Amino acid sequence: MASFCSWLALEQNHVYILGMESGILNAELVKRINELKRKKNAIVLVHNYQRPEIYDVADFIGDSLGLCQQARKTNASIIVFCGVNFMAESAAILNPGKKVIAPCLDAGCAMADMVEARDLFEFKKKHPDADVVTYVNSSAEVKALSDVCCTSSNAVDVVRSRKSRKIIFVPDKNLAAYVQKQVPEKEIIAWQGYCPVHHYVNKEYLEEVRRENPEAKIIAHPESKPEVLEMADYIASTSGMIDVALRDAAEEFFVLTECGMTERLHKEIPEKKFKGLCNLCFDMKKNTLPAILKCLEDESPIVTVDAEVAKRALKAFDEMFRVSIAPKD
């Protein structure tokens, strides 16, 4: 198998890492993967930020909430998760009787790495009267210390549902600020983590975007800085961005999130124009068609979570699903 980073290409203002395997075209890889899926009763779950060619083998493409829900209700024997490791862990927690495999177990998340369970454990002692609401962009161990999980699309509803007035929100300070504005009756104590892709954008950048794209509606991810959210036309999770673009009559949009999302939008709404950040999450792009094929052939690497950790983390997920049965966006 060829190395993961075979070459870099700049196309339509987006940088993509393109993995290649000599002599095998994507169409042949897609065919072989789909054949193996049928043979092994496997399902492939794909995050919106994945490489566009991976969409062709996906049984479901979505944001964190949608992927959690699909992982929870699937009848497949094997779940192939194409995202980053905290997402694959979530699928394993939600499906203790199924085999969850991931093409690249080393696909991490910079935000998730900004909080460790031992630090959260000590922090909770300082605020014994606070509920812990943890964004899914976190490790299983951190989720296990939480009262409830949330995603970007249901964070407001989850926080609003808590009986406690005081909330420790982990780990994204920008999403915490957005929720605080929507739920002012709560006192939110924000962990100081952030997503480097979204935190990169500031007010000056957005002003330049507006000057260069005067006709475009701007959709920002809630992981963006408060100053950016104040200037955006819409605030939405990745899947919510699709709904916004479908509802709004505008023909042009600029999306403030990882660059791969524009490919998803072009796929879903080809009659409209989408531009976005030239800012890439390298971990999201680690999954490739050759890696997915090998993963299915070998049925490995298997995603495992300590049984006691999984049990406690599942309670946090179940509490989230109690509040948000279906995607709000």
In a domain, 2, yes or no: no
Residue/partner pairs of 239-244 with CB below 8 Å, 24 or more apart: 239/48, 239/62, 239/63, 239/65, 239/66, 239/153, 239/327, 239/329, 240/63, 240/153, 240/329, 241/265, 242/268, 242/269, 243/329, 244/217, 244/219
Confidence of residue 325 (pLDDT cuts 50, 70, 90): low
The CA distance from 287 to 83, in Å, is: 7
> Do 102 and 116 reside in the same domain of the chain?
no
> Do 31 and 52 reside in the same domain of the chain?
yes
Mean pLDDT for the stretch of residues 195-218: 95
Q: What is the pLDDT of residue 56?
A: 95
Q: What is the pLDDT of residue 24?
A: 56
> Do 186 and 311 reside in the same domain of the chain?
yes
Q: State the total domains in the chain.
A: 3
Q: What is the pLDDT of residue 16?
A: 38
Cβ–Cβ < 8 Å for 194, 180: no
Q: Kindly report the CATH number assigned to the domain that includes residue 289.
A: 3.40.50.10800
Mean pLDDT for the stretch of residues 103-108: 93
The CA distance from 253 to 216, in Å, is: 5
Q: Position of tokens 């100081």? A: 192
Which residues are CB-contacts of 89 (< 8 A; sequence separation ≥ 6)? Answer: 139, 140, 303, 305
Cβ–Cβ < 8 Å for 307, 134: no
Domain carrying residue 170: 112-194+307-323
Cβ–Cβ < 8 Å for 51, 285: yes
The CA distance from 190 to 313, in Å, is: 20
* pLDDT > 70: percent of the chain: 91
Cβ–Cβ < 8 Å for 264, 55: yes
In a domain, 1, yes or no: no
Counting beta carbons within 10 angstroms of the beta carbon of residue 255, is it exposed (0 to 12), middle (13 to 18) or buried (19 or more)?
buried
Q: What is the pLDDT of residue 149?
A: 97
The CA distance from 259 to 327, in Å, is: 23
Mean pLDDT for the stretch of residues 293-316: 97
Q: Is the pLDDT of residue 105 over 70?
A: yes
> Do 102 and 24 reside in the same domain of the chain?
yes
> Do 123 and 172 reside in the same domain of the chain?
yes
pLDDT tens readout for residues 152-195: 999 999 999 999 999 999 999 999 999 999 999 999 999 999 99
> If you ran DSSP here, which 8-state letter would residue 257 be given?
S
217 vs 74, 94, 208, 244, CA distance in Å? 36, 37, 14, 10
CB count within 10 Å of CB 151 equals 26
In a domain, 224, yes or no: yes
- Tokens representing residue 3 in the block: 């190395």
SS3 percent helix, strand, coil of the chain, rounded to 5, is: 45, 20, 40
Mean pLDDT for the stretch of residues 69-88: 92
pLDDT tens readout for residues 56-73: 999 999 988 788 888 888
pLDDT tens readout for residues 230-289: 999 999 999 999 999 999 999 999 999 998 999 999 999 999 999 998 788 999 999 999
> Do 35 and 95 reside in the same domain of the chain?
yes
In a domain, 54, yes or no: yes
Q: Is the pLDDT of residue 5 over 80?
A: no
Q: What is the pLDDT of residue 264?
A: 93
38 vs 53, 183, 226, CA distance in Å? 19, 46, 45
